[in-house]
Structure 1
Amino acid sequence: MWSQVVKTDKMSKPEVRCRLQLTQNNQETASARLQILTLISVASVNFSSMICYSILGPFFPNEAVKKGASQTVVGLIFGCYAICNLIGSLILGKYIVEIGAKFMLIMGLFVSSICTILFGLLDRVPAGPAFITLCFLVRSIDALGFAAAMTSSFAMTAKIFPNNVATGSLEMFTGLGLILGPPVGGWFYQSFGYEVPFLLLGCVLLLMVPFNIYVLPKIDADPSKDSFFRLLTHVKIVLICYVIFTLSAGLGFLDATLSLFAIEKFNLSPGYVGLIMLGLSLPYCLASPLMGYFTDKYPVTRSWFMVTGGMATAIGFCLLGPVPFLHIPSQLWLLVVMLGLIGFSLGMTALPTFPEIITCAFERGFDDGLSTLGMVSGLFGAVWSLGMFYGPIVGGLITQHLSFEWAAAVQGGLAFLAVIFTHALYSLWKHI
């Protein structure tokens, strides 16, 4: 009898190991499925949101001028989007756990889709104050929806892919949205008029809502007692925020001024302006996977990428016009090449910033959870929006009172200051 029990016990050990292995395999399968579903969902959000955001560049500034808006007012319309995005990112990033990351993302998509469709109907509004007021109103609400979608998107990606926060696969879809937005928007505007680009892409964004309700996984987490102010007590985080600010300020400046400059300087149609803007977004899209791999695999290279990318950005903006004191004539081929340089350097500089802030937050003792990731996402979105507010407004003012060439040079100077500060701080950090 005893020997039979012993034999049974010996036979049960392989069974236990088999069951443990089966459980482990099931957990790995569930984890892989969660990652795949999140990847599909976030990629669709990044792509659809960015394409709806970027379609304005080739034709809206010129259309707004026809409706009675000045260059400065056009800059303010772009800038109000950014300031509302800033406020929304901070608030939503702080309360992402209480609201729910999935609910926040889906509602953000829904609001953005409705606002995109409404923006396409603004050409029926009388020119002057009525048109300008509704532009501000619709863009402001759209910015809140965009802030909700992108803040939750960043946080969920960082939570489910903890070792691949900067992976360029998702950024490639962001780049694709930026790439397709200008040429698609410019071509549809030139072929079918003002309404069609917004109505078409707004409906596509609306279709993403039920898709993400089904696909997106739900993530539960506990709220954190930490705050944005504690994040900003870290000198390195403040510096990285300035780097982010310079990048988005440059992009915001180009959104509000490049199309008018290209149309007036080179007599181009909105469709061709959209193709020129490919020079900015295509290099970013192509470079993102490679940059993401290196910044994930070799975190020590992040500071090098930020410094090198910032220097390339500064050179690109100074030669974009080019700056008047260089006495180089404006040429279309030079404009396209410099846009390509800026697009490539944007990927080089921007991709390391988000994982660097997360690393600094964890070093400061922040909880390794969705709440912290939400705050970092909100901070990133807020600083990015601050640059998008500054860029169109200040760039528009300088362009209106001086020239596009001088305004571009100012953006290059901001990037050059970021290079100096970044290099100095990281060099100092190594000796502490």
Structure 2
Amino acid sequence: MSGTSSNLDDTNNDTAHESVPETEALISKSFPEFTSWRRVFVVALCSVTLILEGVNLSLPGPFFPREAEIKGLSQFQIGLVVGSFDLTNLCFSFVVASLVTPKNIKFVFVTGTLWSSITVSSFGLLSESPSGDIFFYSCFFTRLFNGAGAAMLYGTAMPIAVQMFPEKAALITTIIQSSIGCGLCLGPPIGSLLLPLGGYKVPFLVVGITELFVFASSSFIIPNESVKTKSKVRSSDYVRFLGKFSTLSVVIPTATLYFIPGIRDTAYSLYFENVLAVDSKKVGYVFLVNSLAFLTWGPITGVLVGMGLGSIVEVSYQIAAPLIAFALFLPKFVPQLETLGWGVMILALNGITMASTMNPAYLILEKMAIRQGFTNMQQIKTLIASSYNLATSSGRTFGAFVVGGYVNDIIGFYNMCLCLAIVLSVTATWNVVVLIKYGLVGRLYYDSKLDKQVFIGGHRQCFNPS
């Protein structure tokens, strides 16, 4: 890693106000004294919860657009409903980041599971409501409230899980990413499997009831005050962290990359049905390719990040994303490519690209937080989890509302893909140039890695956290 840290905006005097003991910034000495099995159960519970939340997120994509069309909704209204989930998720990420403390992190997590259970079940039951505006507004507000539960879970599951085994941060982060990928993978086929058993509402009711069991389990398994630290993320801390140019250089490109799932859930299913003639009840199996690629590539990314190659992965996916978006545009000029096989290949490549996002972004944001003077890993993990959730939810919201909904309506599917490729090219260039300029392209390790180098207060230091 090159010694270019003097150029960082993260090393202002206001962030280097105190001498930071190297080990204190990396691994808190107040490690929770629980049995290994109980800590494993906590990590497993966080993993299961995010699997269910991934299902909750991906389940409407293949099926809601068709149900909404039957109920008389326009493409733009479909985009509003799909995007409303991430709109609330986006807004609540600020709330979660500002209000979560070691004393209430369990309460926020448990409340999120209950909230999500109720709202996802209600969303399925809305299939029984009248068509037209009543159906639209009911779905919009139910999905809007559903997003609040997701924000609670995304903002707390990672800090809780990582703090159980802080010396294995790379592994835990990989498990969490794989859990989300597994949920995204299971959502569409679960829908296709359960839909014939009782109609549109059945898959959502099954997910909601399962989350209710998770709510009861988490109340007993997760320890109270799972992290004993005096640290708390204040609103001003969160705003300061997000306001840095270097932080935005990761957050905004990640957000634009997450236009893709927003577009997928509003426009892809109808494209596969109307253009590629896929049966509406089987389109969920086509989406499975995207999620399987995400799930398969997630652990591979985790291994690469554990080897110190996270920034290389970050640069690679930033370069690949606009190329994949452009590939989906190509059938407009090469009609022979307008086939199911081509569409499935793009979905798979999108899944691989998305799986290359979380772990590297967490790693790089962690380095930036340490450079900015944050000294406690619980605080840093909360900042990063909320910032990443902010990026992904804002991207999915904009992708669903504006790109997959409005822009798709105005200029058509293929031209929309071209616009996406242009935007991704701009943000990818920004991200890569900044990472190179700031010396963040090279060997980078999580806080738990022994004998590694970090920047604290703008100065390169070596330490061994043992």
**Please, what TM-score do these two structures have when normalized by structure 1?**
0.88
Structure 1 counterpart of 2:272, from 262, 265, 269 = 262
| 1:309 equivalent in alignment to 2:309 | no
Q: Bigger CA drift: 396-405 or 223-232?
A: 223-232
Aligned equivalent of 2:190 = 184
Q: Aligned partners of 1:253 and 1:295: how far apart in 2?
A: 28
**Which of 116, 124, 129 is 1:125 aligned to?**
129
Q: Give 5+ residue unaligned stretches, structure 2.
A: 1-30, 441-457, 459-466
Cα-Cα RMSD: 2.2
CA distance in 1, matches of 2:71, 2:356: 38
**Correspondence 1:406 to 2:415:** yes
- Given that 2:258 and 2:396 are in contact with CA atoms closer than 8 Å, whether structure 1 keeps it comes out as yes
Once residues 129 and 162 of structure 1 are traced to their aligned partners in structure 2, the CA distance between those partners, rounded to angstroms, is: 49
Match status 1:146 vs 2:150: yes
- The reply to whether residue 356 of structure 1 matches residue 364 of structure 2 is yes
Does 279-288 or 216-225 show the bigger shift?
Answer: 216-225
Contact 1:94 1:371 in 2 (8 A): no
CA contact (8 A) 1:187 1:270 kept: no
Q: Is the CA contact 2:233–2:383 (under 8 Å) kept in the aligned structure 1?
A: no
The structure with the greater share of residues assigned to helix is 1
TM-aligned CA deviation for residue 416 of structure 1? 2.0
1:91 aligns with 2:95: yes
Correspondent of 1:174 among 172, 176, 180: 180
The verdict on how the C-alpha distance between 1:329 and 1:294 changes in structure 2, with shifts beyond 3 A counting, is closer
1:108 equivalent in structure 2 = 112
Indicate conservation of the 8 Å contact 1:165/1:296, yes or no: no
Confirm whether residue 390 of structure 1 aligns to residue 390 of structure 2.
Answer: no
Counterpart-to-counterpart distance in 2, 1:28 and 1:143: 30
Equivalent residue number for residue 428 of structure 1: 437
Q: Which deviates more from structure 2 when the two are superposed, residues 128-137 or residues 366-375? A: 366-375
Change (3 A) 1:101 1:196: same
Name the structure 2 match of 1:45. 49
CA distance 1:98–1:33, change in 2 (3 Å): closer
Q: Distance in 1 between matches of 2:63 and 2:367?
A: 40
Measured after TM superposition, the shift of residue 271 of structure 1 is 3.1
* Corresponding residue of 1:199: 205
Cα distance in 1, alignment partners of residues 379 and 345 from structure 2 = 42
Rounded Cα–Cα distance in structure 1 between residues aligned with 2:139 and 2:32: 49
Give, in angstroms, the shift of residue 329 of structure 1: 3.7
CA deviations 1:351-376 (Å, max 9, x no partner) are: 21022112210111113142342232
Residue among 232, 237, 242 paired with 2:247: 237
* Residues in 1 aligned to 2:136 and 2:318: alpha-carbon distance in whole angstroms: 35
**Which residue of 2 is the match for residue 334 of structure 1?**
342
Q: Classify the secondary structure of the residue corresponding to 1:320.
A: helix
Distance 1:38 1:381 in 2: 21
Partner-residue secondary structure (3-state), 2:258: helix
In 1: Cα distance, 2:115 partner to 2:33 partner: 34
Equivalent residues of 1:321, 1:330 under 8 A apart: no
- Higher alpha-carbon deviation: 400-409 or 107-116: 400-409
For these two proteins, the number of residue pairs brought into alignment is 404
1:290 pairs with 2:296: no
Structure with max Cα Rg: 1
TM-score (norm: length of structure 2): 0.82
* 1:22-33 to 2 correspondences below 5 Å: 30=34, 32-33=36-37
- In the TM superposition, residue 323 of structure 1 has moved relative to its aligned partner by 5.7
Aligned-partner Cα distance in 1 for 2:250–2:116 = 28
Deviation at 1:278, TM superposition (A): 1.3
Sequence identity percentage: 23
2:77 corresponds to 1:68 = no
Is the contact made by 2:318 and 2:432 (CA closer than 8 Å) also made in structure 1?
Answer: no
Distance 1:76 1:120 in 2: 17
